[in-house]
Amino acid sequence: MKSICLILSLILFSIHFSLTHAAGGKWQLLQQSVGISAMHMQLLRNDRVIMFDRTDFGKSNLALPNGECVRNDCTAHSAEYDVKTNTVRALTLLSDVWCSSGAVAPNGRLIQTGGNGAGDRRVRVFEPCTGCDWKEFANALGARRWYATDHILPNGQQIIIGGRRQFNYEFYPKTGSSSKVYSLPFLVQTNDAGEENNLYPFVFLNVDGNLFIFANNRAILFDYAKNKVVKTYPQIPGGDPRCYPSTGSAVLLPLKNLAAPSVEAEVLVCGGAPKGSFVKANQGTFVEALNTCARIKINNPKPQWVMETMPQARVMGDMLLLPDGTVLLINGASSGAAGWEIGRNPVLNPVVYRPDNAIGSRFEQQNPTTIPRMYHSTAILLRDGRVLVGGSNPHEKYEFTDVLFPTELRLEAFSPDYLDAKYNNLRPQIVAPISQAKINYGKKLSIQFSVKGNLATQSVSVSMVAPSFNTHSFSMNQRLLVLEAENVKKVGTTAYQVQVTTPASGNLAPSGYYLLYVVHQKIPSAAIWVQIL
């Protein structure tokens, strides 16, 4: 039966592939096997990517160093990928990180929280340094965190929200005034019996310091310090769920006009699966995914969702902010739901969403991959502007044969069209400051850069992008701020200088490391790392 299903899947796959219209972007296979399935990914300030799956998948294809073993398993379930050298180093996990969460602290350390079983109350810390490995802290969380969401706050703490059978939130690191677990009734209200549909809630720090929390099909603006709902938003039109396992995705659109008295904040939610899809898929009926996006201005006095239609239905897709201010939709399927063996019809074409275009002209389909990226796929932005894509394992163990979608160990890079060689004369190259520069809030910052061709001074801006923790179709802590050019001047034959004002506060940009790009005529430079303090 498995073989018959596999043949039918390949036929459908080839039909879908041949009929797909493509527009732009290029794919590159980086690694035939990184040894593990990249279920979670995070880029760190040393241009290395931490990836991991789960410790009870069975033996991986990556050995632990020096003959080490953990509970009779001598293979790794976490790896460090070096972007520059395209190499992989095995890392050691002591507890199960399956379906966990995380964020990068202001000092650059990856703070990773929760997981399954004995790992569900653990905190793991990874320092971005040569030869470093995970450090684990047992019972560091006040509640079990499995399918929770994390976000860095303006004070540098991390808030951890929800998780399976957890209708509450807590902070890390603990302080005398934030050592408890706090109730969040909104997570009870959004919990569908038999499906949940409110796991991995979409969480964004609003410009006023409150949190926008979207779960299932609706959202609140939440004052986490006072444990108070500030605003309740309308239900998304149609009422269909967008969170796990009816997994859509979401982004806070680029923040602009940062010096304005009121900075506009807008959230975009795309894809997902109709209510009941999870139950039906487990019974063998794979409902078509949602083909809509919903967009809302969260600080509007009377906020309303505005609906749009995507080129294709998509469930388990990822949404990434690109340095040119566009949004990339990538990975996923067009029917079924998130879970073991219940996604069908892979969506191979990424889509670029242009938020500043008029409705009806915002979506642009891209060239397809040849690798289905189903349940447990990941995607993150790299410093050079490429998107790293990995993972896909819709099985309870590693399965490589006689299944519809084999466990995927390959690692790819998707290069958006802005990286095409035809734009090389427009592409800026940052000269100063050097990478790892420290910057302060609300200060003037001069950036020197070069451009080979003619510079259009009115088409220069600077993007600051927070590197995100990506898992289960949501990029936690993802954020892009557009710093407007205040003065662009020529300082050499092909050298220029642009002055910008850094974000005014941690409400706009929580302290920590960001990728800083110069963008010229919508063509971004490679980024430098900056740390805002």
Q: In a 3-state reduction of DSSP, which class is residue 390? A: strand
- Residue 340 CA to residue 247 CA, distance in Å, equals 13
- Residue 113 CA to residue 162 CA, distance in Å, equals 12
Per-residue pLDDT of the chain (533 residues; tens, 9 = 90+): 444 444 434 434 433 333 333 479 999 999 999 999 999 999 999 999 999 999 998 999 999 998 999 999 999 999 999 999 999 999 999 999 999 999 999 999 999 999 999 999 999 999 999 999 999 999 999 999 999 999 999 999 999 999 999 999 999 999 988 899 999 999 999 999 999 999 999 999 999 999 999 999 999 999 999 999 999 999 999 999 999 999 999 999 999 999 999 999 999 999 999 999 999 999 999 999 999 999 999 999 999 999 999 999 999 999 999 999 999 999 999 999 999 999 999 999 999 999 999 999 999 999 999 999 999 999 999 999 999 999 999 999 999 999 999 999 999 999 999 999 999 999 999 999 999 999 999 999 999 999 999 999 999 999 999 999 999 999 999 999 999 999 999 999 999 999 999 999 999 999 999 999 999 999 999 999 999 99
User: 3-state SS of 239-303?
Assistant: CCCCCECCCCEEEECCECCCCCCCCCCEEEEECCCCCCHHHHHHCCCCCECCCEEEEEECCCCCC
- Please report the DSSP string for 356-374 in residue order: TSPTTS-EEE-PPPSS---
Mark residue 426 as left, alpha or beta (left: phi above 0; alpha: psi -120 to 50; beta: remaining).
alpha
Residue identified by tokens 């964020």 is: 103
Strand partners, 475: 470
Per-residue pLDDT, 4: 41
Per-residue pLDDT, 366: 98
Q: Judge if the upstream peptide bond of residue 433 is cis by omega within 30 degrees of 0.
A: yes
Q: Beta strands 495-501 and 444-450: pairing type? A: antiparallel
Q: Quick one: 26-419 is in which CATH superfamily?
A: Galactose oxidase/kelch, beta-propeller (2.130.10.80)
- Residue 260 CA to residue 40 CA, distance in Å, equals 36
Q: Is the dihedral of CA 5, 6, 8, 12 positive or negative?
A: positive
Residue identified by tokens 């899809």 is: 277
Strand partners, 448: 432, 497
Does the fold of domain 423-532 match that of domain 26-419?
Answer: no
- Let me know how many helices (H) and strands (E) the chain has, helices first: 3, 42
- Residue 223 CA to residue 237 CA, distance in Å, equals 25
Per-domain boundaries in the chain: 26-419, 423-532
Mark residue 439 as left, alpha or beta (left: phi above 0; alpha: psi -120 to 50; beta: remaining).
beta
Tell me which residue of 332, 329, 330, 354 sits closest to 343, measured CA to CA.
332
Domain at 423-532, CATH class = mainly beta
